Amino acid sequence: MQTEHWLILFLCGMFLLPAADAGAAMSRLTIQDEMIVDGHGRQIFLWGMNLGEKSSARRHESWHGPEEFHDLRRWGMNAVRLLIFWSAVEPTPGIYDDAYLEGVDKRIRWAQEAGLFVVLDMHQDLWSEAVPGGNGAPAWATLDDGEPHRFLGGAWSTAYFTSPQVQRAFDNFWANAPGPGDVGIQDRFALAWQHVARRYVDTPAVIGFDILNEPFPGSPIREVALAIWRAIPAIFRGASMPNGFGALLASLEERPLPAWLLDALDDPTRHRRALEAVTPTAQTFEREKLMPMYRRVHNAIREVHPHGIFFLEPSVLANVGVPSAIAPLTDDHGERDPLQAYMPHAYDIVVDTPLAHQPSENRLRVIFNQQQRDAGTLGMPLLIGEWGAFYGNHRTQDAARIKGALLEEKSMGAFYWDYHRGIEEAAYFESLARPQPVAVAGRVQQVAFDPASGVFNCTWDADPGIAADSVFAAPAFWSAAPPVTRVTPETAAVRVEHHPEHADTVYVKVTTPDAPTSITLTMQPG
């Protein structure tokens, strides 16, 4: 039916899913005053990429080798979000594949040798390797009750909205339905995480856990569809739309999305109206389904790993700015776990389409503003687990600049999606291999980088009680020669140093004066 066509198209457009000090030993990171801090008390900014291999046929062995991890460091980065897969960790119920985990060990070792922190992400797309085009859960953990898989074409992620198999598998996971051996499927998932966490409890590079990539509600997505349908008159009030029902239906054949729809949703008020329609269902899911799963996994991990940070993702609907209702994790006595950060993803509705180079800055600002509010409510630092997804699109330089500026303004770190071959040749690479705060002795107030001029500025309230320098990355891609630096006040000493083991990795260090003060560092290519 044409009505169903409209609903699917609009939903898939609206909620398209597609993220140390030089030479020193890696410091265990913690959370303090809504900041990630190192052992000296310096504010740490995690800047890096997502890295992994989604294919079960390739045993999830990514192509990246030691040199690629070194390149990340050379490009001014200090972290990776490393994809791991439940299907590879536990291919048979209750039996863990240590051969697969030895491959993960190797990549973590390469990261640590390059001076990179690692966030482990239990990844999924369309729930499972048992779903065509999917990955994540093992086939034995895909309790779909025989429901069929339906995919109507377009971006791969449309199957979340069209596949009864995917929706039922998620429903049974959230319900902790009994699987093999009559063990709850969510209980199995928690034990798999416990096995992974135990393995890395003494690995300093592994700083924490992203429990589940882009949590999807399952069949309640149909309620989202109905809510959007009912809200269409309010959402598009005053918008310029095709004249007449026939013209409207004809416009839905435009690929990838109707021009009038994108123009209408460029208005922040209309975009927020759409988000408001979805919010009740999304937040009910987070409170009643997502948080109980997070608590189960949190308890399992804390039994064996006392100091990893939990990087909490909200519902996947938060990718486009839906307000989140997730809550801080607590122990059995109601005491808040101090090691938590908020790490949503941030994508405009044109992601994974040929229009990826034309995101709406208005919509992106709605997304980032909401995510910043959510982090404030939670009392957690905000990081962005995934952004970009430009996949070599040669027209995405401006899109990356827009998103980079918002990341500077709103977050304390981010992971680009993803580390693909030839990324250093991409038009948007200038927004990745760029100057960055790494470890700051105080609280950062402002970061700004202008890719056109190459000028970088950072202002922070320095804490003289921190007995370590502030450190900034100066990647060679940005400045082939040592950068030109200026710092105010002049009582703050600045110097340029090469990494003792990697001569092509340059850092700018600033020594804090004895008295509390605001410091501004300016760097430009040498």
Phi, psi of 407 (to 5 degrees): -60, -40
Instruction: Please state, in angstroms and rounded to a whole number, the distance separating the CA atoms of residues 308 and 132.
Output: 34
314 prior amide bond cis, ω within 30: no
User: Could you tell me what percent of the chain has a pLDDT over 70?
Assistant: 95
- C-alpha 121/C-alpha 211 separation (Å) is 6
pLDDT at residue number 5: 35
- pLDDT, position 25: 55
64-89 residues labelled b (16+ CB within 10 A) or e (exposed): beeebbbbbbbbbbbbbbbbbbbbbb
**Helix H or strand E encompassing 404:** helix 397-410
Query: Which residues of 297-383 form beta strands (DSSP E)?
Result: 309-312, 340-342
* Amino acid letter for position 318: A
> How would CATH label the architecture of 19-48+436-526?
Sandwich (2.60)
Contacts of 503 (CB under 8 A, 6+ apart): none
* Mean pLDDT of the residues in the chain: 93
Instruction: Give the least confident one: 7-21, 181-195, 263-277.
Output: 7-21
Q: pLDDT digit string (tens) for 349-383?
A: 999 999 999 999 999 999 999 999 999 999 999 99
Residues 450-482: pLDDT tens digits? 999 999 999 999 999 999 999 999 999 999 899
pLDDT of residue 390: 97
Contact, 344 vs 384, CB < 8 A? yes
Half-sphere exposure of 377 (CA within 13 A, CB side): 11
48 - beta bridge partners?
A: 79, 415
Q: Give residue 2's pLDDT.
A: 32
pLDDT value of residue 500: 76
Question: Residue 218 and residue 358: Cα distance in Å, rounded?
Answer: 30
Q: What pTM was estimated for this model as a whole?
A: 0.94
Q: State the virtual CA torsion across 239, 241, 243, 245 in degrees, nearest 10.
A: -120
pLDDT at residue 499 is higher than 90: no
Round to whole Å and give the CA distance between 505 and 357: 31
Q: Can you say whether residue 453 is alpha, beta or left, with left for phi > 0 and alpha for psi between -120 and 50 degrees?
A: alpha
Angle between helices 361-378 and 397-410 (to 10 degrees): 20
**pLDDT tier for residue 152 given thresholds of 50, 70 and 90:** confident
User: Distance of CA 9 to CAs 41, 230, 411, Å?
Assistant: 48, 15, 31
Is pLDDT of 328 > 80? yes
| Cα–Cα distance measured from residue 58 to residue 51, given in angstroms and rounded to the nearest whole number | 15
Mean pLDDT on 79-91: 98
pLDDT at 117 over 60: yes
Residues with Cβ within 8 Å of 379's Cβ and at least 6 positions away in sequence, in order, are 34, 328
Sorted by where each begins, the domain ranges of the chain are 19-48+436-526
Cis peptide before 97, with omega less than 30 degrees from 0? no
At residue 11, does pLDDT exceed 70? Answer: no
